[in-house]
A and B are shown apart, each in its own frame.
Chain A
Amino acid sequence: MSVGFIMLVHQSLERAAQVSGHWAGHGCPVAIHVDKRVRREEFEALKAKLADFGNVRFSDRFACEWGRFSIVEATLAVSERLLADFPEVGHIYVASGSCLPLRPVEDLRRYLEARSETDFIESVTTDDVHWTVGGLDRERFTLRFPFSWKRQRYLFDKHVELQRRIGFSRAIPDGLEPHLGSQWWCLTRATLSAILEDPRRPDHDGYFRRVWIPDESYFQTLARRHSKRIESRSLTLSKFDYQGKPHIFYDDHLPLLRRSDGFVARKIWPQAEGLYSAFLKADNAARPEVEPMPQKIDRIFTKAVELRTRGRPGLYMQSRFPNHDHENGKSCAAYSVFQGFGDVFEDFQTWLQKRTGSRIHGHLFDKGRVRFAGDETIFNGALSDSAKLRDYSPRDFLTNLIWNTQGERQCFFFGPDDGQGIAAFLASDQNAHISVIAGAWAVPLFHSGMEFPRVRKIAARRQRIEAQFLDLLRQPHTRARVRVWSLADFVEDPGEILQSVMDEMMPVMQRRLTEVPKLVDMTGFGQFLQDLKNEGMRPYLVGDFPADGRNEMAPPDRKAPSLGVVK
């Protein structure tokens, strides 16, 4: 027994001639259907090219429209032709004009001989498919589709909607359980003959004539009725993208196609000369025992579809500019924002840098200029320290920074003196880990030695801005990870709070903190707050900081004895 090919052709006829000639030349009968819309001269040229082969036939021509029964009709006609003219054919393999055999014909022949009763046809019940175009799976079989999906999309959609609304449903003929699958099948003579000679074939044809995309369901459903043994997979490597269009192979896929060990691949770009000459060469070594491994190719196409539909999180660029809340990750990696920590610790930046090995910036949103780590004037990705450039689009500035430094955790300080344009974005970004010591801005004021009316004014402004920021962080739609302590709470146990911040930043770090940075001197701070109150300002964000000095911030070594604080 041998294998015969059915070839459905509607374009690039030269390539179709080349491939069918290859098969015919290796002793495999080929029956060709050429779409009726192909010009007569082209058809005649194809015929002339294949005239020397005694085992090539041409069937009646139908005008095939995508998604319509005409494709099935053509396949049926060409199948009949092949079966009638070549009684020695044991398996019938459906191919298109843009298919390319990847392995010697001998491989396929012996592979099929060893599986002489097996039908290779992807055939999946409608409950199990997820790849259908337009979301129609079961409904392909129960609705009517008088309008063309390609040319009359509006009417198509409206008509489907109408039928759904009024609950229209066609009866599926008895004995048929709808199955779907790739149209590139390989059936045994017995199964295909049974389908063609089925006494109920007029019923079936009549029914499928009104099913949508019947080329993906006619044989897939009827094979279930007649087959002895189905292997539900296609021997042709063919992947579809998210629009239901087949992926195309080019010359640069050559190594990949070789490694796949598939028998046939589609679609091949007609000008992929490298592929055609490599795979149609006569001296490709036969290895009939090797199983096809389509997974290797599937992987790259799956990744491509994922890139097209999900994209790279946190990336904003010329061809990915997601609408609000469709970003699928507003920034590309986690980062930390510290508010107030720089005010209560001496040189917190250096300490954190040493402790974590992360990149610790100063106030990135400082109004004067961007305070990059190391006080650089320019940073990864050629980001400038110009405040104007940054403030032109603060979100782009930050997402660029995070994108440009992938693989290295970024941390920066934030505070009420910084530009607040980025605040809403920070609150909405789940990658932002924000730790706030509320009211800490009062500490540098306490140390500033400025005259009191001015201090009071600045304190009021900072408190107002910080309160707005905290409000933002408390909104129900905030996605950032936020932790807020009042200054009063913080000085109760700075070691523990710092520990929890570090734990979150570096969850894999097991060691407890053995040292905390030196706290600034807070002697007399309670009185300072009382003075503010006496002046009529209420520093409520600071928390309940006793004014009488009794519970005033003690020296740090007394506050966290277990940590062995280094002064």
Chain B
Amino acid sequence: MGLWSAYRLRVRRRARLFRAFRRRRELAVVANRTGRIGKDDILLFSTLRDEHVRLPYFLEYYRELGVDHFLIVDNDSTDGGREYLAGQEDVSLWTTRASYKRARYGVDWLNWLQRRHGHGHWCLTVDPDEFFIYPFCDTRNLRALTDWLDISEIRSFGAMLLDMYPKGRIDAAAYQSGQNPLEIANWFDSGNYTILKNPQLRNLWIQGGPRARCFFPRNPAMAPALNKIPLVKWHRSFAYVSSTHALLPRGLNLVYDEWGGEKASGMLLHAKFLNTFPEKAREELRRRQHFAGSREYKAYGEHLQEDPRLWCQWSEKYINWRQLEILGLMSKGNWA
């Protein structure tokens, strides 16, 4: 990397951090329990809106996994989710009515909280419909993973987004609060992903899966990105660039091996496509607060209106992480 491009990336990173700094005023404290965060605690960051129905299972899942403290930005929920979160002892909660879009889809807010509270901690950044799995997650908790990453001197850990969907109509079964959404949405596409490399930030750009297959068959370049780097040993100088797809400094984006080997990686099981989805899509389309004029939601609207199915005869039914490892979607790397 030349000095000039190094300098430009540095400027870009500083600009991110400055944006985050400016937007900190948009966040109003609802419950600040960050004083309880211990020295080695694993933190989870999330921003959400009207996800009350998902929250009980979401918190349960990540507590079980080994998250010690949740830092959540509520973007003007009206469904009671804010009050619910405020009552949880391991949650610190901020709220804002400001524009999600102008805060770079929430990244600015979280960058600020990560800078403030994440320094020196392993930080997991996920949405309420994303469920993190990693090699051996059925027998080793998150601490085992982060300890191993520490010993191996790895600062960031990749986990591709895997869109999960039910067999049949996505609105056939009604999701109940507290239920594991993966009981309903337990199918996925196993082998139709495309990968490009972003030469500037060096992150991979992965697309494909049911959304590319069903919503963007004529316009695959528009299909949403599935590459994510949700787990990072945070330093106050780090910043997410767009969602959790890429970070600066860009060395953090090298979660893949370039010489033929495999690095260890996980998955984010994306339980977005439940019966709650069509309503959500209509709402988001109305608010126009999502990426690129919410084109994703437009495409969903068009396709799901007629026939809300993503399942096909070659869909794979989810069993466990080992299955995903064998299918080549994730890897144990040298963790044994």
Contacts and interface: CB of A to CB of B under 8 A. Distances in A.
Nearest to B197: A321
Interface string B267-287: 000000000000000000000
A307 B219 contact: no
Contacts of A380: 191, 314
Indicate the member of B159, B160, B265, B333 with the most A CB atoms within 10 Å. B333
A397 B190 CA distance: 13
Contacts of B2: none
B7 interface: no
A308 B333 contact: yes
Contacts, number: 177
Q: By CB atoms of chain A within 10 A, which of B153, B192, B204 has the most?
A: B192
A75 to B, nearest CB: 22
B82 to A, nearest CB: 34
Contacts of A115: none
Given A318-B204, A321-B204, A392 B262 contact: no
B92 interface: no
Interface in B185-233: 189-197, 204, 206-207, 210, 212-213, 216-221, 227
B315 interface: yes
A241 interface: yes
A111 interface: no
A320 B220 contact: no
Contacts of B255: 318-319
A150 to B, nearest CB: 10
Contacts of A305: 334
Interface string A254-278: 0000000000000001010000000
Given A316-B195, A320-B256, A382-B315, A307 B332 contact: yes
Nearest to A400: B191
| Chain B interface size range | 35 or more
B144 A245 contact: no
A305 B212 CA distance: 34
Contacts of A271: 143-144
A386 B217 contact: yes
B11 interface: no
A320 B139 contact: no
A304 B191 contact: no
Given A318-B265, A323-B258, A400 B334 contact: no
B136 A322 contact: no
Interface in B301-336: 312-316, 328-336
A393 interface: yes
Contacts of B210: 382
Which bracket fits the contact residues of A? Answer: 35 or more
A323 B190 CA distance: 23
A469 interface: no
A133 interface: no
B330 A400 contact: no
Contacts of B153: 243
B257 A319 contact: yes
A327 to B, nearest CB: 6
A396 B331 CA distance: 18
B261 A320 contact: yes
A304 B334 contact: yes
Contact of A388 (B218, B259, B263): B218
Given A304-B336, A382-B191, A396-B195, A322 B217 contact: no
B35 interface: no
Interface string A261-301: 00000000101000000000000000000000000000011
B152 interface: yes
A310 B261 CA distance: 4
B140 interface: yes
B139 A382 contact: no
Contacts of B257: 308, 311, 319-322
A308 B191 CA distance: 21
A252 B264 CA distance: 18
A322 B335 CA distance: 20
B220 A388 contact: yes
B60 interface: no
A378 B261 contact: no
A452 B260 CA distance: 52
Contacts of B3: none
A383 B193 CA distance: 9
B148 interface: yes
A384 interface: yes
Contacts of A252: 136, 139-140
A251 interface: yes
A317 interface: yes
A328 interface: yes
A120 B260 CA distance: 38
A378 B312 contact: yes
Interface string B231-273: 0000000000000000000000001111111111100000000
A404 B190 CA distance: 8
Nearest to A323: B258
B147 interface: yes
A305 B335 CA distance: 8
* A-B complex: 6 closest residue pairs judged by Cβ atoms: A381-B191, A308-B334, A319-B265, A304-B336, A328-B260, A252-B139
5 contacts: A241-B152, A301-B336, A307-B262, A317-B193, A392-B221
Given A250-B136, A318-B204, A396-B195, 14 more contacts: A248-B151, A252-B139, A304-B333, A311-B257, A311-B260, A318-B206, A319-B264, A322-B257, A378-B213, A388-B218, A389-B213, A392-B194, A393-B195, A393-B196
